[in-house]
Amino acid sequence: MPSDLESNLALKKLREFAPESVESAREFRGELTIYIQPDRLIRVCEFLRDEPGLTFKYLTDITALDLYPNEPRFEVVYHLLSLQNVERLRLKVRSSGENPRVDSLVPVYPSANAFEREVFDLFGIQFAGHPYLRRILLPENWEGHPLRKDYPTEGYR
Amino acid sequence: MPITLEKIPGQEERVILSMGPQHPSTHGVLRLVLELEGETVVRALYDIGYLHTGFEKSFESKTYTQGIPLTDRMDYLSPLSNNLGFCLAVEKLLDIEIPPRAQWIRVLLTELTRIQSHLVWLGTHAIDLGAMSVLLYCFREREDILHIFELVSGQRMMTSYFRIGGLALEPPLGWLKRVEKFVKAFPGHLEEYENLLTKNPIWLRRTVGIGMLTADEAIAWGLSGPSLRGSGVDWDIRKKQPYSSYDKFDFEVPTRPEGDVYARYLVRLEEMRQSLRIVQQAMEGLPEGGIKANAPHIVLPDRESMKTSIEALIYHFKIVTEGFHPPIGEVYQAIESPRGELGFYMVSDGSPKPFRCHVRAPSFANLQALPKMIEGRLIADVVACIGTIDIVLGEVDR
C-alpha cells in the first residue's frame, strides 16, 4: 500500500485545498489517518469525492471510538475508498462527550444513512442533518448506548 | 413500537403492509414495511436488529484469540471468511508473516466457503422464485463441502479453524482426496443448475430487468461483492488489494453490465467456477512446511515442544492465561467475503484485549439498496430482490 505520510497525494491536495481543515495526520502499517476539523467535514468529503485525481467515491464504513474518560470523548471514523486509484483513506472527527454531535454525510454519500444510524444507536452520537436518525439495531425504548465504555458489558441490571 | 410508515394525507386507501420478520423468503428475521398501491410497492422501509447480539461489545471483553469463535457466528454461512478477516486484521496489527502453506490452505478453504455460501444463496433464491428442485441439488453439494470442513476443523459450520498466526492444526491425511473428488464432480453439478435455470423462461421473466441498479447507484449506496459486479463495476479485493497470497493465483473476476437480478445470478454462478479454479490451483501447488508463524509469544507452541522446552511451556502459559500484547495502533483489513467487502477495523491500546473491533458487514451495507430496488415494483419482485442481495441477517445485526 502506498502512502508515505508526506508523499501521499490525498493529504497533499487536501492541505492545498483547505489547510485549516486538516488537524493532524498519522500513519500506521501503511494506513493513513487524517483528523479533520468537525465543521469542515462535509466540504472535505465533497472535495475528496469530486477531485479528479482522488475520486474517493465509495464510503466503506462509518464507526466511532469512545475514549472515555478523555476529552474530546468521541472520535467518529470514516473509511473512504477510491475504486479508481485502489486506495483507502481514514478520516476522523473528534466530538465532545457533552452533547456529541457531528455533521451528517448523507448529502455526500447516500450510504452513510445506515452507518450513521448504527453509530447513533450504539454510541449516542447525533448526526446533524440526517433524514431519519432513529435507532436501527436496538429497540426504540432501549436505555443507554451499549458501545460506550461506561456501559457495562452485561448491560444495566 | 416497531418502525412503521405513516400514511400520506390524501392517499389513505393505500395499504401499509408489514412483511416479516417471520416470513420464509426474508432469509432470516428481516422485517419490511411496504406501502402498497394495489400490488405495487410505493414506499419501503426495512427494520432490522432482531438478531442483534452485540458482538462488537463482546470483542472488547475477550482476548484476541477468544474473539475468533464470535466471528463464526456473524455470517454463519461463511464462517471461514469471517475467521480469515479477523485473523488478517490482528496479524496486520502485529505485523507477522504467515507461512505459505497456511496461506494456501486458507485460500483453498475460503474459496470452498464461497462456493458453499453461493450454493445456499442459489437454492434459496430459486425456491423463493418457485424453482423447488434447485434447492435440493444445491444442498446436496453443499453437504460435501461441509464434510470437508468437518474433516479439517471438526465442525461443519462454526469452524474457528484459522488462528492468529496460522491454522489451528494440520489438516488430516487424505483430506485433499476429498477436495479433489469434489473439484472433479462440481462442474457437472453447476451445469445441472444452469440447465434448470439459465434459459428457463419462468426464471427469466422473474429476474431479467428486476431490481435494477446502475454502477453509480451501486457505488453511492455502498454495495460490494457480486451485487456491485452485477452492475458492471470491476472491483474485487482479491485482485485489487490482494491478501493471503491471492496474487499468486490465476482467476478472473466476472462482471455484468445489466445491473438486474439476472446479472447478479450470472455473476455468482461464474464466481463459483472461478473459485473452483482457485481451489484446484491451491490443491495442486500446496507448499510443504509449517502452518504457524514463527512468533512464539503469539502462536501456541506444539504439544511436543511443550514437554521438552521450558520456554515453550512459559509461552504457552502466558498466551493462555493472559494473551499477547499488540502494539498501540489501528488497522482496517478488508477481504472479499462471498457477500462483498468484509472489513475489520481493529484498535489496540496495547492490552491483550481489543480496544475496539468494528465489523464492516457487507450485508448491512448491501441491504440499504433494497428499498431503492423495490420501490415502484410488484410485491412478487420484492422476494426476488431480497434474494439477489444475498443478505445474512446474523451479519446485518451482529
Q: Which of B6, B45, B50, B52 best tests the A interface by mutation, with the highest count of A CBs <10 A?
A: B52
- The vertex-B306 CA angle with B304 and B310, nearest 5°, equals 140
Contact B149, B130 (CB under 8 A): no
Please give the average per-residue pLDDT across B102-127, as a whole number: 92
Give B93's contacts in chain A (Cβ within 8 Å): 29
**Model pLDDT for residues B172-215, shown as the tens digit of each residue:** 988 999 999 999 999 999 998 888 888 889 899 989 888 888 99
- The yes-or-no verdict on residue B154 having pLDDT over 50 is yes
CA gap B355, B94 in Å, rounded: 15
Q: How high is the pLDDT of residue B8?
A: 78
**Model pLDDT for residues A59-104, shown as the tens digit of each residue:** 999 999 999 888 889 999 999 999 888 889 999 999 988 889 999 9
Q: How high is the pLDDT of residue A157?
A: 66
- The yes-or-no verdict on residue A3 having pLDDT over 50 is no
- How near does any CA of chain A get to the CA of B110, in Å? 22
Using CA atoms of B176, B181, B186, B188 in order, give the dihedral in degrees to the nearest 10. Answer: 160
**Model pLDDT for residues B358-375, shown as the tens digit of each residue:** 999 999 999 999 998 888
CA gap A137, B85 in Å, rounded: 23
Residues of B within an 8 Å Cβ radius of A: 1, 3, 48-49, 52, 54, 56-58, 60-61, 92-93, 95, 219-222, 233, 235, 240-241, 329-332, 334, 341, 343, 345, 347, 355-356, 358, 360, 364-365, 367-368, 397-398
Give A63's contacts in chain B (Cβ within 8 Å): 345, 356, 358, 360
Q: Can you give the pTM of this predicted structure?
A: 0.92
**Model pLDDT for residues B33-69, shown as the tens digit of each residue:** 989 888 899 888 888 888 898 899 999 999 999 999 9
Q: How many residues does chain A have?
A: 157
Please give the average per-residue pLDDT across B7-33, as a whole number: 81
**Model pLDDT for residues A5-58, shown as the tens digit of each residue:** 777 888 888 888 888 888 888 888 888 899 999 988 998 899 988 888 888 999
CA gap B314, B276 in Å, rounded: 43
- How near does any CA of chain B get to the CA of A109, in Å? 6
Burial class (CB within 10 angstroms; exposed 0-12, middle 13-18, buried 19+) of B151: middle
B110: left (phi over 0), alpha (psi -120 to 50) or beta: alpha
The SS3 assignment for A145 reads: coil
Please give the average per-residue pLDDT across B89-110, as a whole number: 92
Q: How high is the pLDDT of residue B326?
A: 92
pLDDT-derived band at B23, boundaries 50, 70, 90: confident
A94 Cβ neighbours under 8 A, 6+ residues apart: A23, A35, A38, A72, A74, A75
Helix axes B100-128, B261-284, angle to 10 degrees: 150
Average pLDDT, chain A: 87
- How near does any CA of chain B get to the CA of A96, in Å? 19
How many A/B residue pairs have CB atoms within 8 Å? 93
CA gap A93, A23 in Å, rounded: 9
Q: How high is the pLDDT of residue A1?
A: 44
Give A137's contacts in chain B (Cβ within 8 Å): 48-49, 52, 397-398
